[in-house]
Chains A and B, each alone.
Chain A
Amino acid sequence: MNEAVEQLLQRFGEAVTEWTQVRANEVRLTVKPTCWREIAQYLRDDPLWQMDYPADLTVWDTGTEFGVYLRLWSSVHNHNVVVLTSISREEPRIASLATLYPGVDWHEREMYDMYGVIFEGHPNLKRILLPDDWEGFPFRKDYLAEPSGDPLHGPQPVN
């Protein structure tokens, strides 16, 4: 796995800001959001990686920025990769991976639904779990979660 990581670092240089070998067959990469899609594509297509299985994709809110988490698995090498990045809270935009991995389509829709993250290039970015006319993005840390207002459309500010 070391050779694969070396080639990745050579190819992307400073775009990979940090990496750790968590276990023998698992690495964790922290990357810049601008290269999100390029790195995912490289991990999928490079013969040393062949990460052909999109295991998971999610977002979390630290209060100052959004973290994005992607986990991939390779059916050929049995390698695991966790890719992390962070994007701005004010303008949460990141490239969509739905055309690379059809499996992240619903994950990205869910994260748009809950956090309002815009996945650029997603073929069908609309709410998935909440009603289409829901107001706001409930998983954000500053979302008002008081049980007032119309339960079918979201909580309203309390005066």
Chain B
Amino acid sequence: MPVSPEKQSTLSTVEILSQGMVINVGPQHPSTHGVLRLILTLDGEQILHCEPVIGYLHRGLEKMMERRPYRHNIPFTDRLDYLAALSNNLGICQCIERLGGVEVPERAKYIRVLLMELQRIASHLVFLGTFGTDLGATTMFLYAFRERELVLDLLEECTGARLTYNWIRVGGVPDDLPDGFAEKVLAFVKVFRQRLKEYDQLLTRNRIFRSRTQNIGVLPKDLALAYGTSGPVLRASGVAYDIRKVDPYEVYDRVEFDVPVFDRGDVWARYLVRMEEMHQSLRIIEQVLRDMPDGPVQTKLPKIFKPPAGIAYSRVESPRGELSFMMVSDGSPNPVRVHIRAPSFVNLSVLPCLLEGAKVADLVAILGSIDVVLGEIDR
């Protein structure tokens, strides 16, 4: 018996509903923190499936690096994770140092750690501000950026730039700290400890904030490991994987600090890890300033730098997780291959798992809690 046209139309509606509705988020959307596109399949307000589309910022940096001498590639790394440019600078410099067997003077190591931790605070403050805005707490943005300005002023005084520092060099740092820098940093530490308490009052103890983040976007420990996530995302799922402890570089084995780990694995835990990390960074900064020896800050290297043939990798704990550079050398002045293992790239790949079954309203909170930077995802 043929189906009447009316019946046909109802059938197709049922069919459409059972398949879910496809909507597109991004690539131009303020809550995606860059040019990230998400293709969502929805059933009502529940997300059935999510497919991230990336590559809008792809510049082929890895290929560009093959065409330049080793040390000319440091400025490129500023453009990877542009919220933590110094971590990227350190990553590539460490890799070249391992490849060429370059020693770094003691004082330079301390300066590097000092800058890394200031950078971590600046980056986490951007997370805090934008995460607050994502959830509707606009005030947080103003406070976090007010304090970030203090860090940027310090970094500007030391490096001359506010975002793309290009300051770490192979074999050390280009110049010593400016006069009176230590006092200014200590003054900042004192102010910032107070401000962290204010943040706790504003967000951490806020009931609305808690209900928007607790038990949302739960990432179990085994999944977090199998997906290779790192940084605060992995530590919020109960794995104490911090490169600064697991494979200490520079002087991280000589300073005392704790690695915050939470078992909940939800958005709330990822937020708490970052808040606690800022406290720990302040501890590290104080110890580094106390113990910093005098001496040279750079090793002299030949004008044309040719590391021996081989493969080397380095890894640093950037604010977003394990940032690893892998380089292949054939003994010529240019690298054969530079590979950047960007923490955001891997952390984003777990997003479809987190979003499956979540509500659309929680999408922004979950994505914000992973804290991706598209510059290093697309490279």
User: What is the interface of chain A, defined by CB distance below 8 A to chain B?
Assistant: 52-56, 58, 60-62, 67, 69, 71, 73, 75, 78, 80, 82, 84, 101-107, 114, 128-131, 138-139, 145
For residue A36, give the distance in angstroms from its CB to the closest CB of chain B.
Answer: 17
With A78-B246, A129-B54 as given contacts, are A104 and B228 in contact (CB-CB < 8 Å)? yes
In the complex, which of the residues B58, B311, B379 contacts A84, with contact meaning CB atoms closer than 8 Å?
Answer: B311
Is B182 interfacial (CB 8 A cutoff)?
no
Chain B residues, CB < 8 A from A129: 54-55, 58, 378-379
Interface contact A103-B326, CB-CB below 8 Å: no
Interface contact A138-B63, CB-CB below 8 Å: yes
Give the complex CA separation of A61 and B328 in angstroms: 10
Interface contact A82-B313, CB-CB below 8 Å: yes
Chain B residues, CB < 8 A from A58: 326, 337, 339, 341
In the complex, which of the residues B247, B337, B341 contacts A61, with contact meaning CB atoms closer than 8 Å?
Answer: B337
Interface centre among A71, A82, A103 (most CB of B within 10 A): A103
Chain B residues, CB < 8 A from A54: 226, 228
For residue A61, give the distance in angstroms from its CB to the closest CB of chain B.
Answer: 7
Task: Give the nearest-CB partner of B327 in chain A.
Answer: A60
With A55-B322, A69-B326, A75-B239 as given contacts, are A102 and B58 in contact (CB-CB < 8 Å)? no
Interface contact A62-B336, CB-CB below 8 Å: yes
Which of chain B's residues 233-256 have a Cβ closer than 8 Å to chain A?
239, 241, 246-247
Chain A residues, CB < 8 A from B337: 58, 60-61
Task: Give the nearest-CB partner of B226 in chain A.
Answer: A102
Interface contact A106-B326, CB-CB below 8 Å: no
With A60-B336, A128-B55 as given contacts, are A139 and B63 in contact (CB-CB < 8 Å)? yes
For B18-44 the 0/1 string (1 means CB < 8 A from A) is: 000000000000000000000000000
Interface contact A75-B225, CB-CB below 8 Å: yes
Interface contact A53-B241, CB-CB below 8 Å: yes
Interface contact B311-A69, CB-CB below 8 Å: yes
Chain B residues, CB < 8 A from A75: 225, 239, 241
In the complex, which of the residues A67, A106, A145 contacts B349, with contact meaning CB atoms closer than 8 Å?
Answer: A106
For residue B338, give the distance in angstroms from its CB to the closest CB of chain A.
Answer: 9
In the complex, which of the residues A52, A71, A139 contacts B313, with contact meaning CB atoms closer than 8 Å?
Answer: A71
Is B324 interfacial (CB 8 A cutoff)?
yes
Chain B residues, CB < 8 A from A82: 311, 313
Interface centre among A55, A62, A107 (most CB of B within 10 A): A55
For residue B239, give the distance in angstroms from its CB to the closest CB of chain A.
Answer: 6
Chain A residues, CB < 8 A from B225: 52-53, 75
Give the complex CA separation of A52 and B227 in angstroms: 10
Give the complex CA separation of A12 and B358 in angstroms: 44
Interface contact A103-B341, CB-CB below 8 Å: no
Give the complex CA separation of A102 and B241 in angstroms: 18
In the complex, which of the residues B247, B346, B379 contacts A103, with contact meaning CB atoms closer than 8 Å?
Answer: B346
In the complex, which of the residues A67, A69, A84, A145 contacts B63, with contact meaning CB atoms closer than 8 Å?
Answer: A145
With A60-B337, A82-B313, A103-B346 as given contacts, are A55 and B324 in contact (CB-CB < 8 Å)? yes
Interface contact B328-A67, CB-CB below 8 Å: yes
Interface contact B326-A56, CB-CB below 8 Å: yes
Name 27 A/B residue pairs within 8 A (Cβ), A-sorted.
Answer: A52-B225, A52-B226, A55-B315, A56-B313, A56-B341, A58-B326, A58-B339, A58-B341, A60-B336, A60-B337, A69-B326, A69-B339, A71-B313, A71-B326, A73-B246, A82-B313, A84-B311, A103-B226, A103-B229, A103-B349, A106-B345, A114-B62, A128-B55, A129-B54, A129-B379, A139-B62, A145-B63
Is B60 interfacial (CB 8 A cutoff)?
yes
With A58-B326, A60-B337, A78-B246 as given contacts, are A101 and B226 in contact (CB-CB < 8 Å)? yes
Give the complex CA separation of A67 and B330 in angstroms: 13
Task: Give the nearest-CB partner of A139 in chain B.
Answer: B63
Q: Which 7 A-B pairs have the closest CB atoms?
A: A103-B228, A60-B337, A129-B55, A58-B339, A106-B349, A103-B227, A56-B341
Give the complex CA separation of A71 and B247 in angstroms: 14
Chain A residues, CB < 8 A from B246: 73, 78
With A62-B336, A128-B55, A139-B63 as given contacts, are A53 and B326 in contact (CB-CB < 8 Å)? no
Give the complex CA separation of A7 and B330 in angstroms: 33
With A55-B322, A102-B226, A130-B55 as given contacts, are A60 and B328 in contact (CB-CB < 8 Å)? yes
Give the complex CA separation of A131 and B129 in angstroms: 33
Interface centre among B223, B227, B322, B378 (most CB of A within 10 A): B227
Chain B residues, CB < 8 A from A62: 328, 330, 336
For residue A31, give the distance in angstroms from its CB to the closest CB of chain B.
Answer: 15
